[in-house]
Amino acid sequence: MQRVTLDDKTFEVSIPNAEILAAIDALAARINADYRDRGGVPLFLGVLNGAFMFISELLQKINFPCEVSFVKLSSYHGTSSTGTVTELIGLKDNIKGRHVIIVEDIVDTGESVAHLMNSLTGHQPASIEIATMLFKPGSYRKDFNIKYPAMEIPNDFIVGFGLDYDQLGRNLRDIYKIVDE
Ligand code: 5GP
Ligand code: MG
């Protein structure tokens, strides 16, 4: 199994690049089918930093007129969630009456996504759905429906394809999981 070391931790390949791309392809097909006849110009709202690779792959496969924008949140330090979500770059777009699709790298406890949902609903969008590259159903604690997960995974800490361990590993083309030693 291919391994990488980032700072003090070792990781092994868990989801190869081809599998990630196939899952994103399948998710894009679902979103295309659901939004084709909805009208308006939906806004894909990427959550930085982790979602940058996922949103760039996903958007290339979207076949209806759309816009893309970003917000920046932070809640993780090292390998565990701090539980407090900090908004580093807030919403700059007018979303009133528009269809919004939040694009996350991973939904774990759901704290980040709940924070975003609560702040966005106040701006009266026509609809909001959540697309996430990875979903950990085993640690999810919120009630918002995660309508568009590309892949579901167990509760391991993972890196790669945008996801980091203390800012390292975002550039990896495969997804790696931490090796218990
Ligand atoms: P939540 O608020 O759902 O607990 O976690 C959301 C954020 O924590 C994600 O957007 C991501 O940035 C980070 N996160 C959650 N699980 C993991 C993981 O396994 N690996 C990495 N690198 N980040 C994670
Ligand atoms: Mg994130």
Render pLDDT for 104-150 as a digit per residue (tens, 0 to 9): 999 999 988 998 999 899 999 999 999 999 999 999 999 999 999 99
Task: Supply the residue whose CA is at minimum distance from atom 15 of ligand 1.
Answer: 108
> Which residue's CA is the closest to the ligand 1 atom numbered 19?
157
Tell me the residue ranges of DSSP E strands in 7-164: 9-15, 43-48, 67-77, 80-89, 99-107, 127-135, 148-152, 158-159
**Higher-pLDDT residue of 180, 85:** 180
Asked if the model's pLDDT at residue 82 lies above 90, the reply is no
Average pLDDT over residues 143-160: 96
Q: Is the CB of 46 under 6 A from ligand 1?
A: no
Question: What are the tens digits of pLDDT across the range 19-29?
Answer: 999 999 999 99
